[in-house]
Amino acid sequence: MDWLFFCLMNDNRPIGIFDSGVGGLTVANAIRQMMPNENMVYFGDTAHLPYGDKSPETIRYYAAGITKFLLSLECKVIVIACNTASANAFQTVVELAGGKVPVLNVVDPVVDFVIHSGNYKHIGVIGTKSTINSDTYALKIHREKPGIMVSSLATPLFVPMIEEGFIFDDISNAIIRTYLSRHELSDIDGLILGCTHYPIIKNQINKFFNFNVDIIDSAKVVAMALQKMLIQENLLNRAGVPGHKFFVSDITPSFRVISKMFFEQDVCLELKNIWEQNG
């Protein structure tokens, strides 16, 4: 009976994860470390990045196509590993999932963390233009804790900088310094990395603030929220050797380099034009 119960509780269907490019790999890596038995299907929409300068309607269109593709692969949960898509297309993805598959975005777990896990007085938020213009972090934080001051700053060059492989060098340090020196981020005690690309440059950001500001890494927070969701929904994969699949809408050199940095080996990328096949 115990063996039968174990089998019933074991769900080896993959976790579906998507982002505009390599940024969501920070989330995938955190999931891999926290839940090593899980299978993952990752879709990086490298043909359309960055999402941050796209209209909400366009972002919803891209997110809908990716969601249909992940559902066709029988993913047991969908993780929107992109702040811009989370802020603009979460409801679209939920509606397409139709209540059959749970959906997790990267904004709500971070907001919950800020509200319940610290005594922050002044939170900074950096992200793409679309994420910052949506004001989603400030609105959600103020809804629960109006006393927290939230200062938001768009940092649109970070994503293309990272996607082009400019990290840990003079160019990236200059861009980081230029943005983070802005008055909006003066006197903050916590900084939300409001884009899943940004944990890749977390050490550089930390160094700029002389390690005196709490840098809130959405990847780890989201992985913890996902684990809690999978336990509650009885969806954990408790056994077996994991296998991961990586799909991209365009092959880019930086994706290979950064994916190897996280997964410590070359990953096999499959090029997929899902919009053409979805009509």
Mean of the pLDDT values across residues 118-127? 92
Is 75 designated active site? no
Q: Please tell me whether residues 112 and 132 are part of one structural domain.
A: yes
Q: Please tell me whether residues 188 and 228 are part of one structural domain.
A: no
Query: How many C-beta atoms lie closer than 10 Å to residue 134's C-beta?
Result: 20
Q: Please tell me whether residues 40 and 176 are part of one structural domain.
A: no
Is 82 designated active site? yes
**Residue 176 pLDDT exceeds 50:** yes
Mean of the pLDDT values across residues 15-44? 93
Chosen domain end from 200, 218, 236: 218
Q: Which of 7, 75, 82, 268 is catalytic?
A: 82
**Residue 143 pLDDT exceeds 50:** yes
What is the pLDDT at residue 265? 65
Q: Please tell me whether residues 162 and 24 are part of one structural domain.
A: no
Q: Which of 7, 75, 195, 268 is catalytic?
A: 195
Q: Please tell me whether residues 52 and 127 are part of one structural domain.
A: no
pTM: 0.88
Q: Which domain holds residue 138?
A: 108-218
Q: Following CA atoms 140, 215, 47, 61 in sequence, which dihedral angle do they give, to the nearest 10 degrees?
A: -10
Domain count, the chain: 2
Chosen domain end from 218, 238, 261: 218
Closest CA to 247 of 88, 75, 34, 131: 75
CATH number, domain at 160? 3.40.50.1860
Q: Please tell me whether residues 131 and 188 are part of one structural domain.
A: yes
Identify each DSSP E strand in 30-184 by its residue range.
40-44, 77-80, 103-105, 122-127, 149-154
Q: Please tell me whether residues 237 and 269 are part of one structural domain.
A: yes
**Residue 224 pLDDT exceeds 80:** yes
Q: Please tell me whether residues 129 and 228 are part of one structural domain.
A: no
Return the H-helix or E-strand segment holding 19: strand 15-19
**Residue 1 pLDDT exceeds 70:** no
Where does the pLDDT of residue 6 fall: very low under 50, low under 70, confident under 90, or very high at 90 and above? very low
Average the pLDDT over each of 5-19, 43-57, 166-180, 198-212 and give the range with the smallest value. 5-19
Q: Please tell me whether residues 101 and 231 are part of one structural domain.
A: yes
**Residue 201 pLDDT exceeds 50:** yes
Chosen domain end from 173, 194, 218: 218
